[in-house]
Amino acid sequence: MFLTAPKTAQLDRQVIQNSIPLDLFKAIADLKKEMNAVILAHYYQDPDLQDIADYIGDSLGLSQAAANCQADVIVFLGVHFMAETAKILNPSKLVLLPDLDAGCSLADSCPADRFAKFKAEHPDHLVISYINCSADIKALSDIICTSANAVAIVNQIPQDRPIIFAPDRNLGRYVIEQTGRDMLLWDGACIVHEIFSERKLVELKLSHPEADIIAHPECEANVLRHADFIGSTTGLLKYVQNCDRKEFIVVTESGVIHQMQKATPFKKFIPAPPNSNCACNECPYMRLNTLEKVYLAMKNRSPEIILNESIRQAALIPMQRMLEMSI
Ligand code: 13P
Ligand code: SF4
């Protein structure tokens, strides 16, 4: 079951092996019932973690699931900004993130003090922020978007209104291409989606001419120009289910292949190669969560997401706008 577990997970297991039950799947299911908890997971989590989730989705689906959640406790299997988003929407619920160090390079590329200054330099601009940002950045924003709805949201803004788009320059550039809107971009990026090699992708396509290339819009332009389809993780999953092709080169974090393979076991999925021989198409932040940490977080009701109430209230407004604009 843990043949591919990262080093940190192996260490965790050594440290805590005497205090955890042997059947973690059963122990987590029992705790879930006892606590009236729901487990929400992103597609970039380890397969084990996807398999214990009540709901697996992209950032938009997870926000909608969090907004409609009836449970007392949300166990969030994803990264910090996602769990924070669940807390913004559910201030009275306990929101647990198994590893508080599960951050995001993209969110980190946009510190609130620098962004506030940038925003102040462009007072006439509407601020649309990608959900991959901190609660502080959300609080400085007018509307939040995800990779699933960014184009649709920008298309709803009056033509004469100038826009700041933050923090992902790659998604921003893709939205500019799709909408024809001239937006001011924050210069942030995701370390996972910037690692794909165009040269290796082209070589892979040459050896698999029947495969469709499917890519996430956080990738760079030189990679996206080879894609047959571009979409959010849910968009990519739906595409492989509805497309006649039997083979796909997947240019995003490789965790999403678990659901693709489950949904279409007879199809073949090839992870796109990074530009070195690393496992860099796995998000190092997402992969910090492990089954052991999920069990311990539920047992200890910690680590939980705690937010400053005035920041939460300010961040809630652009989140609610996004949910209303996504119906
Ligand atoms: P989506 O969940 O919108 O597909 O974005 C992927 C991602 O990078 C999440 O961190
Ligand atoms: Fe952040 Fe990239 Fe990891 Fe998504 S894949 S959580 S954007 S670092």
Q: What is the pLDDT of residues 217-241, one digit of tens each?
A: 999 999 999 999 999 999 999 999 9
Residue located nearest, by CA, to atom 9 of ligand 1: 59
pLDDT at 327: 73
pLDDT value at position 2? Answer: 36
Residues of the chain above pLDDT 90, percent: 91
pLDDT of residue 17: 54
**What long-range pairs does 26-32 form, CB within 8 A, spacing at least 24?**
27/295, 28/52, 28/291, 28/294, 28/295, 28/298, 31/295, 31/298, 31/299, 32/75, 32/298
Q: Which atom of ligand 1 is nearest to the CA of 78?
A: 10
Which ligand gives the minimal distance to the CA of 104?
2
Q: What is the CATH number of domain 7-101+286-308?
A: 3.40.50.10800
Please report the DSSP string for 112-130 in residue order.
HHHHHHHHHT-TT-EEEEE
**Ligand 1 in reach of 105 Cβ (< 6 A):** no
Q: What is the pLDDT of residues 7-28, one digit of tens each?
A: 555 545 544 555 777 899 999 9
**Which single residue is written with the structure tokens 């999920």?**
294
Boundaries of every domain in the chain: 7-101+286-308, 106-190+312-325, 198-271
Which ligand is nearest to the Cα of residue 285, counting in written order?
2
How many Å lie between the centroid of ligand 2 and the Cα of residue 46? 14
Please indicate whether the domains covering 106-190+312-325 and 198-271 agree at the CATH topology level: yes
Residues with CB under 6 A from ligand 2: 44, 79, 104-106, 132, 190-193, 253, 283, 285-286
Whole-structure pTM value: 0.93
Task: CATH number for 198-271: choose from 3.90.1200.10, 3.40.1230.10, 3.40.50.10800, 3.40.50.410.
Answer: 3.40.50.10800
Mutation choice for ligand 2 from 60, 104, 194, CB with most ligand atoms inside 8 A: 104
Fold exhibited by the domain 106-190+312-325:
Rossmann fold (3.40.50)
